[in-house]
């Protein structure tokens, strides 16, 4: 009986490898990119690309293990959730009110070290933000909020 269960599990693991989720392989920097909406220094832009864009843009650099399901499914779901929150590649469809809130969320999330997620930085050690980088991102988000000019 155990052998049959083991074979069934093995069979399912093989079968699910053929069910591939769509990949987030668009262009990260477009005419709708964050840099076309707000003033952003090259340094802050590089920080966002290094620490945020894999989950919050139209382009994800996938590691080799994303080709193994169910990990690939989990990553796709994670990226889709991140893009729904904020997509630095396309801010054109986000209403000012929501964008204002997202900018505040960015500042608070990096300040409290909630972003980038520890599940991401566990593998991507270079995405961990230094205190100086956190300060730069917070300053940028605050200035972008002022630039947005939204007042509730």
Q: Report residue 25 as tokens.
A: 């392989």
Length of the chain: 152
Asked if residue 53 lies in contact with residue 88, where contact means CB atoms within 8 angstroms, the answer is: yes
pLDDT at 41: 94
pLDDT at 151: 63
110-118, Cβ contacts within 8 angstroms, sequence gap of 24 or more: 110/134, 110/137, 110/138, 111/138, 115/51, 115/52, 116/51, 116/52, 116/55, 117/55
pLDDT at 71: 84
Asked if residue 11 lies in contact with residue 70, where contact means CB atoms within 8 angstroms, the answer is: no
Distance CA 82, CA 88 (A): 10
Q: What is the pLDDT along the chain (152 residues), one digit of tens a residue?
A: 888 888 888 888 877 788 777 877 777 667 788 888 889 999 999 999 999 999 999 988 888 888 888 888 888 988 999 999 989 988 877 888 998 999 999 999 999 999 998 988 988 899 999 999 999 999 999 999 998 886 66
Q: Is-cis flag, bond preceding 116, omega within 30?
A: yes
pLDDT at 28: 61
Burial class of residue 137 in the structure, from the number of CB atoms within 10 Å of its CB (0-12 exposed, 13-18 middle, 19+ buried): buried
């Amino acid at each position: 009986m155990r052998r049959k269960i083991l074979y069934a599990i093995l069979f399912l693991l093989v079968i699910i490898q053929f069910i591939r989720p769509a990949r987030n392989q668009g262009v990260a920097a477009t005419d709708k990119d964050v840099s076309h909406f707000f003033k952003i220094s090259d340094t802050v832009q590089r920080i966002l690309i290094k620490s945020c864009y894999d989950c919050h843009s139209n382009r994800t650099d996938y590691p080799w293990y994303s080709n193994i399901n169910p990990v690939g499914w989990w990553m796709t779901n994670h990226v889709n959730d991140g893009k729904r929150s904020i997509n630095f590649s396309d801010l054109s469809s986000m209403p000012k009110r929501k964008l204002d809130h997202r900018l505040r969320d960015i500042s608070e999330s990096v300040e409290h070290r909630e972003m980038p997620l520890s599940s991401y930085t566990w593998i991507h050690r270079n995405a961990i933000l230094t205190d100086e980088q956190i300060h730069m991102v917070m300053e940028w988000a605050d200035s972008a909020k002022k630039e947005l000019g939204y007042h509730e």
